[in-house]
Amino acid sequence: MDKLDAMRMFVRVVESGSFSQAARDLNVSQPTVSKQLAALEARLGTQLLARSSRAVAVTPAGQEYYEATVSILQDLDFLEERVLEGQSAPSGLVRVTLSPAFGRMFVIPRLADFRSRFPDVAIEMEVSGRHVDLIEQGIDVAIRIGRLSDSALVARRIGDMRMITLASAGYLAQYGTPQTLDELRNHQRIGHVHQGDIIGWGFHVEGRQVTVDGGGAFRTNDAEHVRGAVLAGLGIAHHASWLFTDVLASGEVIRILAQHAPPPFPISAVTVAGRRLPSRVRHFIDFLAAICAEEPELRIGDR
């Protein structure tokens, strides 16, 4: 039994909660994972995992071994990378999770530049509008919007997202332009749903925060469908400015109620706390930060 391989398999089973998922992540067969972990438990003389037909649970001894093993593997990976860093370019896989619209509009168009600089680094994208568990899914970095409350995560602010209120020129010509939040409440609103909840629209009025119900005749969990609904004249939306840069410039869409715009939300590259980042992940986060710095609607501090 290769001790390090067994330790890595054990960690991946614990984090994914599944032998089959761990096998897929490590590109080995499920019987290989089962055999290695059985040998590991035999060598240690204790049960690390409690298996059932539906789930895998960590025993108290397994939890203690997991925490120590994670630290050992991180130290080893960091040491190897420090030794190799001066001899070779970064290599390996970076797994990132981000929203569909952000990935399509900003990351994919520039990914060839990153690949030309780091040809030995592969990128795997988990495209999702929901917040996935970085540890459970084996994700290296996530792009998150807003302030974080999870102490198990570390965030590097790479940009800002500005929320604006807007509608198509055709909609406003037909139904009028609301000048106040009370008038806004009488209009058709295009709602954005996140993890099953309709997101309220935040505004600043005379130094205080006011929330308007984001529900309406149309709602969706996808940012690009919000954009499509605005362009189709279905109503007024309150969403990220970067999604509408081109149509705002052309006049097809018009911003309203700018005097009540809320402060920007931070865009962060999020990683798991307590883990040393491989150079390939650090370089990819630098790449994401450069993308935001080059885009006026994403740049920190710009208005």
Task: Tell which of 59, 85, 111 closes a domain.
Answer: 85
- Cβ(84)–Cβ(278) below 8 Å: no
Q: Where does a domain end: 53, 85, 117? A: 85
Q: What is the DSSP letter of 262?
A: P
Clarify whether residues 43 and 123 are in a common domain: no
Give the domain CATH number at 242: 3.40.190.290
Together in a domain, 127 and 167: no
> What is the per-residue pLDDT for 81?
67
User: Inter-axis angle of helices 3-16 and 19-26, to 10 degrees?
Assistant: 120
Q: Which residue has the tokens 């790449």?
A: 287
Looking at residue 21, what is its pLDDT?
84
Question: Which residue type occupies 41?
Answer: E
* pLDDT, block means (10 residues), the chain with 303 residues: 84 86 86 90 90 79 87 77 65 92 94 94 89 85 83 86 96 96 94 86 90 87 94 96 95 96 92 83 94 92 61
- Examine residue 41 and state whether it is found in any structural domain, yes or no: yes
Are residues 77 and 217 both part of a single domain? Answer: no
Residues 157 and 227 in one domain: no
Per the domain annotation, does 303 fall within a domain? no
Q: Are residues 58 and 108 in the same domain?
A: no
- Where in the sequence is the domain holding 80, given as residue range(s)? 3-85
245 and 204 belong to one structural domain: yes
Residue 38 and residue 2 in contact, taking contact as beta carbons nearer than 8 Å? no
Sign of the Cα pseudo-torsion (234, 229, 297, 128, in order): positive
The count of domains in the chain is 3
The answer as to whether 26 is a domain residue is: yes
Q: Examine residue 130 and state whether it is found in any structural domain, yes or no.
A: yes
Domain endpoint, select from 30, 63, 85: 85
pTM: 0.70
Integer Cα distance of 191 and 122 in angstroms: 36
- Domain check: are 213 and 285 in the same one? no
- CB proximity list for 162: less than 8 A, separation 6 or greater: 240, 241, 242, 261, 264, 297, 303
Verify that 177 and 252 share a domain, yes or no.
Answer: yes
pLDDT on residue 20: 86
Q: Does 155 share its domain with 274? A: yes
Does residue 239 belong to any structural domain of this protein?
Answer: yes
CATH number at residue 55: 1.10.10.10
Q: What is the DSSP letter of 202?
A: E
> Are 157 and 269 in the same domain?
yes
pLDDT of 50 reads 87
Residue 142 within a domain:
yes
What's the confidence (pLDDT) of residue 302?
55
Judge if 252 and 270 occupy the same domain.
no
Whole-angstrom CA distances from 243 to 6, 161, 231, 247, 249 are 46, 10, 12, 9, 12
Residue 300 located in a structural domain: no
Whether residues 16 and 156 fall in one domain: no
Q: Give the CATH number, domain containing residue 272.
A: 3.40.190.10
Report the alpha-carbon angle 70-71-72, nearest 5. 95
Number of other residues whose CB lies within 10 A of the CB of residue 151 = 7
Q: Quick check: is 179 in a domain?
A: yes
